Structure 1
Amino acid sequence: MYEIRFFEDKVYALLREGTIKGASHLYAGQEAVAVGAIAAINENDVIASTHRGHGHCGAIGNKHAKTEEARQEHWNKMMAELMGKATGYCKGRGGSMHIADVQKGNLGSTGIVGGNIPVATGAALAEKLKGSGSVVLCFFGDGATNTGAFHEAVNMGSTLLCGLPVVYICENNLYGMSVPFCDKSVDKAGQASRIRDIYARAAAYGIPGESIDGMDVLAVKDTVARAVERARNGEGPTLIEAKTYRWYGHSSSDQRIYRTREEEAEWKARDPLVVLRNKLLDWRIADEAELDAIRDKAERTIEDATQFALNSPYPDVSELMDDVYVPSSPSKIEEARVAELETLAKVH
């Protein structure tokens, strides 16, 4: 979780100075959800992420890293991708909201709210038809639960082939952009829903629904592990609502004027990193020095990843057409590449 936190804090600083371009939706504060959920799956399982997806990508990359070198390479690729560099996971083409690594079971993220839910459901259908035994974790925010894609996909996930091996995880950070998801103290026109508990919607699809403390990584892991076991055993989906909170605004330009500083302080008092640290100390699993060493190592990992990304090259213009078309007709692709490069040459 430390690596995700340091990564997001560094990304925010790089956004403010203009080194990273465009919008970025930071995951700081929600680390327990991604880390706990992904700790509960196997390496042959699959995830589908959201526009606020750095934490999911970070956690699954760490899960697959077998050495410190592989772990560092993972964070190098993540930071390089956000800077649009050729050494990134998607060669700089995906950026913050479309980062993916299919080889590690990360189907990728999307800038479309709720757009990944049908994708995850389709992936679960494919896994069941293949008989692979793999489970799909589908992450999304509270705002996505008000989309048609959510309803249609969860309905299909609960009915196709007697239930698909997918776990739907809603990260309810209380706000859809600047709109409270459910706040009885405001006029009903000023909230996204009149239903406070998203997990209760599971009843409409005939599947289990659970609410968990999204600031407690161990609670997340235990709950997701049960849902994953159900899915793997052919018992279908579960809808899990993790109550959590994002430290930053909706995106890097959001000044958070719709939230009080008192509310933020209340949630930050339950920082998921501190919650876990205190448990490890109370249970005498680790001491202060050991935990400080883990924190310091995580910070160095992200600093090294930042330097790697800064020193990496941007993609060459000659690669503009790479990975755009399926290479079923190489000659036609080459013709299109040449034509595009000729057009660019005329422009410049």
Structure 2
Amino acid sequence: MDVSRTRALRLLASAAALCCSVAFVSACSDSGSRDGAEKSTAQAAQAAVPMTTSDLQSDYQKVIKDVLPSVVQIQAGNDLGSGIVYDDQGHIVTNAHVVGGEKTFQVTTANSEEVHTAKLVYSYPDQDLAVIKLDEAPGGLQAATFADSSKVAVGQIVLAMGSPLGLSSSVTQGIVSATGRTVTEGSSGGGTGATIGNMVQTSAAINPGNSGGALVNLDGQVIGIPTLAATDPDLGGSAAPGIGFAIPSSMVKTIADQIIKDGKVTDSGRAALNITGRTVVDSRYQAAGVAVVEVKSGGAADKAGIQAGDIITRLGDTGITTITSLSEALAADQPGEKTSVTFTRNGSEKKTEVTLGEQ
């Protein structure tokens, strides 16, 4: 059983004990000879509750004390975001949309007013990740510990750390609401337009400036990088409270390790058909598929016999109506997997098997 679940169960058990003890005293308050013993039992059960609450609070405070020094504020031009210290060499991992088109940055560490300069190592907008490096790493720079995100479970208590709205070293609390989400960022408002698979959904508040920070479990390990909050069209595109998404830590490590070693991403782990496409509409002006504009020679689609002019309508069992839906379907797959592509050519429907390539 993982630590966070054990703590949660302990808290629930204590709460249950309190309810039972109150009911027991009420029902037996006039029982005479057992009254003293019963009161002692009730008092002991009630006393356990603040102790458990205090234990949980102590856990929060320890995690914050251990991890917050690894979370920094990044100023890129006129924009502010967050980042995580990746190693003691001064590498910092953040979102690609935080660095934007900038090459140099000002970095402020937690609980410090000293500003450090940093330069871009590489930005990878397709996964909305980037690495920058401090020009001079200060002494005592503390790298964060990254968890295996495949072990993240719904219901785990998490803390989001960053600089929302420029308020550095801020912490919010929530739980893991879901895992395995595929989310497409908007390209407006500073997003990269990336479609990202296997994201962690959390109820911890994610506000502007939290991007690039840390989503942390109660073991003090980073399980993801908070990247975006859901928006509600009914609220004019405002953020939907309690629905935020984080890039899973295992993907962060995969990409960051390549950037630090090779100066670029050499193995994206993202499935692709290796085509250029665009959304097409039907006679009712409804999105109806993805027209293949160009096929990369030797790529997955080329090997499967797909040609420019074909209109893709299905990938495996998933219907395809837009280029975004195709990206989201591919995000759930892995390079090298075999699947089927349904498409129309000159008005006739065809289906072919394809071995997915890499983006």
TM class, shorter-length: under 0.3
TM-score, normalised to structure 2's length? Answer: 0.22
More helix by share: 1
Larger relative contact order (CA 8 Å, sep ≥ 6): 1
More strand by share: 2
TM-score, normalised to structure 1's length? Answer: 0.23
Larger Rg: 2
